Each structure stands twice: as C-alpha cells, then as structure tokens.
Amino acid sequence: MTMSGDMDSYYLSFIYGHLPYWLFIILMLSGLFIVVSRGNLIKKIVGLNIFQTSVFMFYISIGKISGGTAPILLDKAAGKTDVLYSNPLPHVLILTAIVVGIATTALGLALIIRIREEYNTIEEDEILEMDTQAYRAKNKDNAFEIET
Amino acid sequence: MASEIKQTVLHLSDHLPILQVVVPMLIAPIIVIFNNRLIAWLLSFFGTIICLIISVALMWATADGSVLTYFLGGWVPPVGIEYRIDAANSILLFLISVISVIVMFFSSNALISEVPKEKHTLFYACFLLCLTGLLGVVATADIFNVFVFLEISSLSTYVLVAQGSYVDRRALSASFNYLIMGTIGATFFVIGIGFIYMATGSLNMMDISERALELGNNRTIQAGFAFIIVGMGLKLAMVPLHIWLPNAYSFAPTVVTCFLAATATKVALYVLIRFVFSVFNYQYGFVSEIFLFLLMPLGIIAMIVGSVIAIFKQNLKKLLAYSSLAQIGYMVLGLSLLSEKGLSASLVHMVNHGFTKAALFMALGAFIINTKNPYLSSIKGLGKAMPLTSAAFVVGGLSLIGVPGTAGFISKWLLIEAVLEAGYWVVAVAILVSSLFAVIYIWKIVEVLYFNEKPENHGELSFYLVSPIWILALFCIFLGLNTGLTVDIANMAAEILF
C-alpha cells in the first residue's frame, strides 16, 4: 500500500514538476496537427501560431528559477546583492522569436489575401482542384505529366 | 580604452566579417526610400559587388587555415555574439556573393518580363534582405543568430517566390506552402536550440562544444540534435521533407529561382554541417548512427528518386528543381560518411552545383523570356535560333551529368572516392546510376533544342542577358579544370572542422 502510494506521488510529481513542459508538448502537437490536417489557409496560420507559441512557453520555462523574481537591476542599485532572479536570456531570445512569428503571420495573411483575390477561395482542396483543371485545359498534349 | 576603440575603427579590414552582412542590409531600406528603379538596381548591384570583394578578401585571408573572429559590439563571447570566418564558410560566402552579383546583372534586363516595373524597387530590397540573411547564417558563430538570419532570408524568400504570381498565380500557393513548411522547419530549429541552451547554458558554438564534451552522452542534447536535424532537413529539402521545393522553384521568377537554387539549400546544409562538426561532437554514437542509418539512405533515395522524377517532367523548371533534389542527395550523402574526404566532397559539390544549377536555370530563364512558356515543347529548335544561350545550357548540363572537364566531374569524382574509401561500393554504383539518369533528362532537353526546325519568331537575346549565363557556364568549365579554388579550400575546411 505504502509502496504504491510512493509510486503515485512519484508519477504526480513527475507530471506537476514538469507541468510547463507537458503544456508545451500538448500545445506544440496540437498546433502542428492543425497545420497538417486543416485545409483552410487561415486555420493553417492559426495552427502555426499555436505551434510557435508553444516554443515561447518552452523558452520561458527554461529561464525560470524556483523562487526567482523578475530580473531587474534596481535591486542591485539598492544594495541588495542576494536577490535570486530568473534567467533573462531566454526571455530576450523569445522576444526575437515573437517578432519573427509576427512577421511570418503577417506575411502568411498577406499571401492569403492575394490567394483569395486570384482564386476567390481559401480552401486548399479547391485551389488545387482549380489549378489542376486549368492545367489540363491548357496542356492537353502533355498527358504524361501529372502535376503535383 | 578610448584609444583602443579608435584603433579598431580605423582598420576597416578588421570589420570585414560584419560589413559583409551589414552592407546589403543597409542598402535595402535606402533603395526603398529612393523608390526609383534605376537607382535601386545600381545600388543593389554596387552592394553585391562590395559583398563579393569582401568575400574574396575573407577567402584569401582564411585560405591558409587561419580563423577570423569578430565580436559584435566588442562583447567577448560567450556573452556577446561572435562572427567567425574560416575556410568552410568563406567558400560559401564566396559562392553566395558571386551568384548574387551575376544574378543581379542578369536581373537588370530579365526581371522586366516577369515582374511589373513599379515593383522592382521592392523586389531588389527583398533580394538584398535575402542576401543579408544567407550571408549572416554563414558568417555567425552564435546559434540563435543563425535562427534569426535564417528567418530573415526565409521571409524575404517567401515574398520573392510570390512575385511569380504576375506570370502564374500558382506562385502564390507555392509561396504559402513554402511559408508553412519553412516556418515549421525554423520552429523545430528553435526548439533544438532551446534544448541545447537548456543543457549547456550557452549559445556560442565553440563554447557549446566544450561544455557538451563535459556533459557526455546527454539526452537533452540528443533531443536538441534531433530537432535540429528535422528543422534543417525541411529547410534544405532533404527527401521526405522536400515537398515545398519543386513548386517554389518552378513558379518563382527565374531570377529568384536562379539565386535560390544556387544558394538557399546549400546554406541550410552548411548549418547542418556546422552543427554536426562544431557544435555537437560527431564522434558520439547517436550522431554517427543518425548519419549512417538515416541521412545516408535518405541521400541515396533523393539521388535516385529525384533523377527519375526529373526524367518524366515536361515543365523544364520543375525538371531542374527535381534534379536539384537529387543533387542535394549527393551533398547529404557526402556529409553522412562523416569522413574528411566525404565532407570535402560535399563542400566542393555545394559550390560546383551552385554554379551549375545557376547556369542551367539562367539559360532556361533566357529561353522563357523568348517563349513565355517553361514547357519542353516550346523550346523546339531554339538551339539554332539562340545558339549562345543553348550552348551555355549544354555546358551546364554536362557539368550536371559530371562529364570530365566540367565542375560536376570533380565533385562526383571526390564523392565516389570518399564513398569507396568508406567501403560502400553499392553506394558508388547508386551515384553512377543517378548520373546516368541525369544523362537521360539532359539529353531529352538537348534533343528538343537542337534536333528540330529553327523557329522563325525567336532570336538570340541581348548581350546583357547572354553574358551572365556565359560567365556561369565558364565558371563550370573553370572549376572543372582548375581545382585550386574549390578542392584545396574544401580540404582545408574539412581539416579544420574535423
């Protein structure tokens, strides 16, 4: 009885102790799944955003030190030298990654607007279908080539 | 302190590693402000030539095996970002800047047939940003900096690919797919960097490799390595992750295709090489196992499958794109041997294939300027109507096949030598078979070019379009006859990396 109780608490602490990582894995996989499974281009971008957000979370949790506060230099100026603070470097890195993510999203959305102007749809299957039909109509003699 | 700063400012040559990256980055916004097509082209061309001069100077400085380092803002690594130029990346810097100069020259006349005039300024700005990113990835020795530059180049590449939509609207979906795939790849790469940082607490490549040695067989580092392999595999179009490449290459404007085919995938492969040899210790079991059991089979599959698909393609841009996949297979194969010879073969093939593929795509672009159509049936008899361009195409084709006297022969020879040294004679046979397939698809084009009636409405193009093609074709021949430039430096690079 006590044995299994120990095991239970072991597993519990394994889950609780790594909670940010579990959330990171769940977010990452759901984001990736949305990107792969959805045909709607906007939904793909949403999935991509979730996927990238999971990485932000991963980085922030790397920098966390238990009991640490925000890394602010004022404490040092006030003469406190024993302040424990989180590692600021991952935060800085992830700021850059957020900027990259925003740029990617903006560009993706701009492309979707152009695609919608040209095709009048944002469903991947319909776009592919229209491309195939246009291709067949134009190249009747090139029967050997299967356009992918 | 003050006198020290003054001194570093005075010596321009000390700042070459960073100037290389900064020059195109600064010119890009300047030309957007001027918003004049001619000024944009002149300044961009000027910028790429400066990059070329710098890269030649760097290659000259590092050819004897010395290493140039540059600390950004004077912060000493591992705190600051370090730029580090040695033989391995100087040869790639040279490739990228030479190709960018030639492509820039070609674009002065070629771009107008594919992109409307009022977009040219922005196009050149994007081109320069892409160049900045590629040069930055190669020059830096900080792994997070690699990611940032990789995304700078990728984001501008997506825009450049989408510019093909003025000719064919499929460029838009090709660009979108590339964006999705490229971003997934980059994000995997960032996760890998996160794992490495988690285990070692450093972002500087040299620092990490020292700290990783102390850690020994660490699971976190292995996970990071796995993520980086997948991320870079997506960026370099390693075979199961290559789906974005054929469409992106075939619907982008020719100028862009030319530049990307010669540089972008090579840079991603360089990142992989740099990580394997400078960041991770390649002697660890897991690295060599991944390379032997994963990368080598994938490289061989790419070689064979890419070439076979290329044979059946009627769209010539797509044909060359699939042939690029096969060539990437050669490079991955050379790397996967994890031997000094294999690595040097891989580096030489990167440079040689860069010139070869750029020549082929550029000649094809010249055909398309005349015919407005990338299909095989449209180039009938152009060998007689456009003799110079067609001859350059044939030279590029011979180099792609690997005929003695051309660049492709040298790198394939080195690769086969490396494979035989490692004892994989079956793989050597596969390389030969793949080269035979290359003969088939190149011959298919040559046959249509030369063995048809001369069309009446097409003539040879102007000097400004033909000369860059011939410069590239002559590079193919020159690098096949004079191996001093490529093989010696690649050997030096392989020695440094090992």
Nearest CA in chain A to B169: A118
Nearest CA in chain A to B200: A62
> Between residues A81 and B331, which one has the greater pLDDT?
B331
Write the pLDDT tens digit of every residue in B325-364.
999 999 999 999 888 899 999 999 999 999 999 999 999 9
Contact predicate B382/B477, CB 8 Å:
no
Cβ contact, residue pair A115, B179, below 8 Å: no
Nearest CA in chain A to B243: A148
Taking residues A36-42, report their average pLDDT: 93
The confidence score (pLDDT) of residue B461 equals 82
Contact predicate B54/B13, CB 8 Å:
no
Query: How do B68-71 and B82-85 pair as beta strands?
Result: antiparallel
Taking residues B144-157, report their average pLDDT: 95
> Between residues B26 and B64, which one has the greater pLDDT?
B26
Within B111-218, where are the H helices?
120-139, 143-162, 170-200, 205-215
Taking residues B5-26, report their average pLDDT: 76
Kindly state whether B377 is in contact with chain A, defined as any CB-CB distance less than 8 angstroms: yes
Kindly report the average pLDDT of chain B as a whole number.
90
Distance of alpha carbon B437 from alpha carbon B148, whole angstroms: 38
Tokens of B269: 């492969």
% of residues, chain B, pLDDT over 70 = 97
- Residue whose pair of structure tokens reads 């959330």 in the numeric block: A23
If pLDDT is split at 50, 70 and 90, which confidence band does A4 have?
low
Cβ contact, residue pair B165, A118, below 8 Å: yes
Cβ contact, residue pair B148, A100, below 8 Å: yes
Partner residue opposite B155 with nearest CB, options A59, A103, A118: A103
Kindly state whether B140 is in contact with chain A, defined as any CB-CB distance less than 8 angstroms: no
Tokens of B485: 């430039």
Asked which of A124-128, B46-50, B95-99 is least confident by mean pLDDT, the reply is: A124-128
> Taking CB atoms and an 8 Å cutoff, what residues of chain B touch A98?
none
The confidence score (pLDDT) of residue A105 equals 96
> In Å, what is the CA distance from B227 to each residue of A72, B192, B205, B275, B395?
33, 5, 17, 12, 40
The confidence score (pLDDT) of residue A140 equals 60
Residue A29's Cα: distance from chain center in Å? 9
Partner residue opposite B172 with nearest CB, options A35, A115, A142: A115
Kindly state whether B8 is in contact with chain A, defined as any CB-CB distance less than 8 angstroms: no
> Between residues A18 and B234, which one has the greater pLDDT?
B234
Distance of alpha carbon B21 from alpha carbon B23, whole angstroms: 6
Taking residues B53-66, report their average pLDDT: 89
> Between residues B482 and B46, which one has the greater pLDDT?
B46
Q: Return the amino acid letter for B3.
A: S
Tokens of B174: 């090709």
The confidence score (pLDDT) of residue A1 equals 43
Nearest CA in chain B to A129: B170
If pLDDT is split at 50, 70 and 90, which confidence band does A64 have?
confident
Kindly state whether B159 is in contact with chain A, defined as any CB-CB distance less than 8 angstroms: yes
Phi, psi of B338 (to 5 degrees): 55, 40
Asked which of A78-92, A106-120, B170-184, B461-475 is least confident by mean pLDDT, the reply is: A78-92
Contact predicate B442/B457, CB 8 Å:
no
Tokens of B421: 């040294």
The confidence score (pLDDT) of residue B8 equals 46
Partner residue opposite B197 with nearest CB, options A62, A127, A142: A62
| Domain assignments of chain B as residue spans, ordered by start | 305-498
Partner residue opposite A127 with nearest CB, options B155, B173, B194: B173
- Domains of chain A, start order: 2-138 (1.10.287.3510)
Taking residues B398-427, report their average pLDDT: 92
Asked which of B123-127, B132-136, B278-282 is least confident by mean pLDDT, the reply is: B278-282
Write the pLDDT tens digit of every residue in B446-482.
999 998 888 877 777 888 899 999 999 999 999 999 8
Partner residue opposite A55 with nearest CB, options B170, B179, B190: B190
Nearest CA in chain B to A95: B148
Distance of alpha carbon A18 from alpha carbon A61, whole angstroms: 10
If pLDDT is split at 50, 70 and 90, which confidence band does B76 have?
confident
Distance of alpha carbon B233 from alpha carbon B332, whole angstroms: 10
Rounded to the nearest 10 degrees, how much is the dihedral formed by the CA atoms of B473, B150, B329, B282?
120
If pLDDT is split at 50, 70 and 90, which confidence band does B103 have?
very high
- The strand pairing partners of B315, in sequence order, are B375
If pLDDT is split at 50, 70 and 90, which confidence band does B40 have?
very high
Tokens of A47: 């999935």
Distance of alpha carbon B189 from alpha carbon B191, whole angstroms: 5
> Taking CB atoms and an 8 Å cutoff, what residues of chain A touch B198?
62
What's the ipTM?
Answer: 0.90
Q: Give the number of C-alpha atoms closer than 13 A to the C-alpha of residue A126, restricted to the C-beta side.
A: 10
Cβ contact, residue pair A51, B170, below 8 Å: no
pLDDT of A45 above 70: yes
Kindly state whether B189 is in contact with chain A, defined as any CB-CB distance less than 8 angstroms: no
Contact predicate B302/B332, CB 8 Å:
yes
Kindly state whether A100 is in contact with chain B, defined as any CB-CB distance less than 8 angstroms: yes
The confidence score (pLDDT) of residue B64 equals 83
User: What is residue B168's DSSP assignment?
Assistant: -
The confidence score (pLDDT) of residue A76 equals 64
